[in-house]
Amino acid sequence: MTLRSYGICLVGLVLSLISVGASPTKAIAQTIYPFDVVYNTEVTLTPIASTDVSKAFVSGFNSDAPYGLSNFSSINNYSRTDPNTGNLVFLQDPAKFGLQGLPIGRDEFFGSGDDKLFGSSSATASFDFINRKLVGSGTITITGGAGRFTGATGILNFSEIEPLDQAPTAPLIGQAFLSGSFQTRQKTPEPRTNATLFGICVIGIGFILRRRYLLASG
């Protein structure tokens, strides 16, 4: 290896390091998880005193749900009838209904293990009095998770149906149909190009220094 080759080697190593530093996204991959499931649900509506708002709690279960996420819960939802449409509006931020000092709602998917999904939702529901059903739809925005779903993001669309011919004080029993996907970011090993190039350069430099030492001592 000549001094010119040595210079080329160093330049190549520097350029390689710069290119990796300028493109950090190359070391990150995404894993996408389709999520289509039907949960058997219970919905409890509790009126909040001195307001036209009710607090809603939703729980769901399906033993065959994907990824072991057999349970679903949506807590601290707030519901009010839209006077213009007659539909129920469900939000998780009570301030949007003019209520202060109440906790913001959240959604969670979980099972018996460490894997979990967290999210927030909004929905509307209409009364189908002819068929005696409450029909709702909305979206769940996945905002995080735990276990292998740490840092998850995504959008799930859902529709929900509850018969109205149930006891007035009992939870509404129905089904929620969810469809969508979420993704997680996963680090991948860095390319070995830099390490290989660095090793070649070190060997070459050592060879040059040894040769120059022998020539000088001879």
* Each residue's pLDDT tens digit, 25-67: 455 689 999 999 999 999 999 999 999 999 999 999 999 999 9
Looking at the structure, tell me whether residues 23 and 119 fall in a common domain: no
Residue-range definition of the domain harbouring residue 212: 3-27+191-217
With bands split at pLDDT 50, 70 and 90, how would you rate the model's confidence at 190?
low
In this predicted model, what pLDDT tens digit does every residue of 118-168 receive, in sequence order? 999 999 999 898 999 999 999 999 999 999 999 999 999 999 999 887 776
Residues 6+ apart with CB under 8 A from 50: none
* Count of domains for the chain: 2
In this predicted model, what pLDDT tens digit does every residue of 4-26 receive, in sequence order? 554 544 445 444 545 555 555 45
CA-nearest of 156, 155, 164, 73 to 116 is: 73
Looking at the structure, tell me whether residues 75 and 156 fall in a common domain: yes
Beta bridge partners of 28: 187
What CATH number does the domain containing 70 carry?
2.40.480
Looking at the structure, tell me whether residues 175 and 128 fall in a common domain: yes
Average pLDDT value over all residues in the chain: 83
What letter would DSSP give residue 27? G
Residue located via tokens 């080697």: 9
Residues 6+ apart with CB under 8 A from 4: none
What is the share, in percent, of the chain residues with pLDDT greater than 90?
A: 64
Looking at the structure, tell me whether residues 139 and 206 fall in a common domain: no
CA-nearest of 83, 174, 104 to 136 is: 174
Looking at the structure, tell me whether residues 21 and 32 fall in a common domain: no
Look at the pTM and tell me if it is higher than 0.75: no
Q: Which pLDDT belongs to residue 184? A: 96
Q: Is the pLDDT of residue 218 over 80?
A: no
Looking at the structure, tell me whether residues 96 and 137 fall in a common domain: yes
Q: Is the pLDDT of residue 196 over 80?
A: no
Q: Which pLDDT belongs to residue 165? A: 79
Looking at the structure, tell me whether residues 34 and 111 fall in a common domain: yes
